[in-house]
Amino acid sequence: MIINQKSVRKILLIKPRGIGDLILSTIVLKNIKSQLNDCEVHYLTEKFASPILENNPFITKIWTFGKTLKDNLSLILDLRKEKFDIIFDFYSNPRTAQFTFLTKAKLKIGYHKRGRNYAYDLKIKIDNPNLHSALAHLEFLKVIGITTEHQEILYFISNEEKNYANNFFIENNISKNSIGIIPGGGWSSKKCEPEKFAEIIREIYKIWKLNFLILYGPEDFDDAEKIYQLTSDISILAPETTLRQMVALISNCRAVIANDSGPMHLSAAIGIPTIGIFGPTNPYAHGPFGKNCFWIRKDELECIQCNLRECPKKHECMIELNPKLVIEKLEIILNQENEKD
């Protein structure tokens, strides 16, 4: 189906969560705006995730889901008043399908899923399980004739946030050669143990004498603090920050080592060389997306990529991970950085 591009004035993108999934969906923005120049692009997401869309010049307005049924009914009426030409439901779960249907856009597009097809005029089916989840969003554009030459994830750091990060690095005498360590992860099975992170840090330090900045969200403080206690002579524990302040701190690092998590994707989005540590999830589809981004995992395990939120075994994918896997990828990153110099 080829749309009449001149008739498209407003598009709504729906992507509630998580943080990594939301930032990956921004891959569509340059493609949309490069061809539908005067089109408004609105986003509907969860309130906790919405800050990562702020300061983005490609986005006209950010909407957030309500907490109550009354809030959401009011939201649906407000969205209907916008008279969207197209809705892309990048999530396509029962709730977002209902929102898509009730918002009454002229053209509604979502994933082909049983019980939800009533909501969509066009359905997207992804047959390749290893297609990166960022690239999967581009299939929504292709189906209506929008070309997809741009493959950039878009996140914009404000001057205030950049100043915050620069001042923190200066005040704490932190080198911008430091490696960021991010131990967070949405599932317990995705979290590399603090002791393993500490082992990786020590092995890297032996070779390059680099220092480390340990970053975390509120739910990951205990793991971050434990890593710091084990490596305090060569690392610094970041202060408690907002999500956007964390990204600003990441932007001052030479590279980042992270579990499969939202901050991992944010690191890659701002162009920081990123190494993702993987176990239960598919790195081909969910690895850090961008230049100088890599992933590692213990491939020989029979249970690797189990997709279980809780490990029923001994978490061998993390506990038995060889730090040399990380070092090999970091060596590529550092050599490339040295060639630039």
Beta bridge partners of 108: 87
- 229, amino acid identity: Q
pLDDT value, residue 5: 82
Closest among 130, 134, 112 to 121, alpha carbons compared: 112
- 328, amino acid identity: E
Domain boundaries, the chain: 5-142, 159-340
pLDDT value, residue 265: 98
CA 4 – CA 107 distance, rounded (Å):
12
* Strand arrangement, sheet containing 122-124: 61-64, 40-45, 10-14, 86-89, 107-111, 122-124
| CB-based contacts of 77, cutoff 8 Å, min separation 6 | none
Tell me the mean pLDDT in the region 99-113.
96
What's the CATH architecture for 159-340? Answer: 3-Layer(aba) Sandwich (3.40)
CA 90 – CA 140 distance, rounded (Å):
8
CA 260 – CA 183 distance, rounded (Å):
9
pLDDT value, residue 339: 65
pLDDT value, residue 3: 82
**pLDDT above 60 for 10:** yes
| CB-based contacts of 173, cutoff 8 Å, min separation 6 | none
pTM of structure: 0.95
CA 122 – CA 105 distance, rounded (Å):
12
- 113, amino acid identity: K
CA 144 – CA 28 distance, rounded (Å):
13
**pLDDT tens figures, 52-95:** 999 999 999 999 999 999 999 999 999 999 999 999 999 999 99
CA 227 – CA 93 distance, rounded (Å):
37
Beta bridge partners of 88: 13, 109
Closest among 216, 229, 233, 218 to 180, alpha carbons compared: 216
CA 117 – CA 2 distance, rounded (Å):
20
Could you give the 3-state DSSP secondary structure of residue 25? helix
pLDDT value, residue 336: 84
Q: Which residue has the higher pLDDT, 181 or 338?
A: 181
- Given a contact cutoff of 8 angstroms between Cβ atoms, the answer to whether 151 and 29 are in contact is no
**pLDDT above 60 for 329:** yes
**pLDDT above 90 for 337:** no
pLDDT value, residue 90: 98
What's the CATH architecture for 5-142? Answer: 3-Layer(aba) Sandwich (3.40)
Beta bridge partners of 86: 11, 107
How far CA 323 is from CA of 17, 154, 189, 217, in Å, comes to: 31, 31, 18, 24
CATH topology agreement for domains 5-142 and 159-340: yes
- Rounded to a whole number, what is the largest CA-CA distance in the chain? 61
Which residue matches tokens 């969207």?
Answer: 84
**pLDDT above 60 for 341:** no
Name the pLDDT band for 248 (thresholds 50, 70, 90). Answer: very high
pLDDT value, residue 340: 63
**pLDDT tens figures, 256-296:** 999 999 999 999 999 999 999 999 999 999 999 998 999 99
**pLDDT above 90 for 315:** yes
**pLDDT above 90 for 37:** no
Strand ranges, E, within 52-120: 61-64, 86-89, 107-111
**pLDDT tens figures, 118-153:** 999 999 999 999 999 999 999 999 999 999 999 999
Q: Which residue has the higher pLDDT, 53 or 185?
A: 53
Which residue matches tokens 């997401």?
Answer: 45
CA 284 – CA 280 distance, rounded (Å):
12
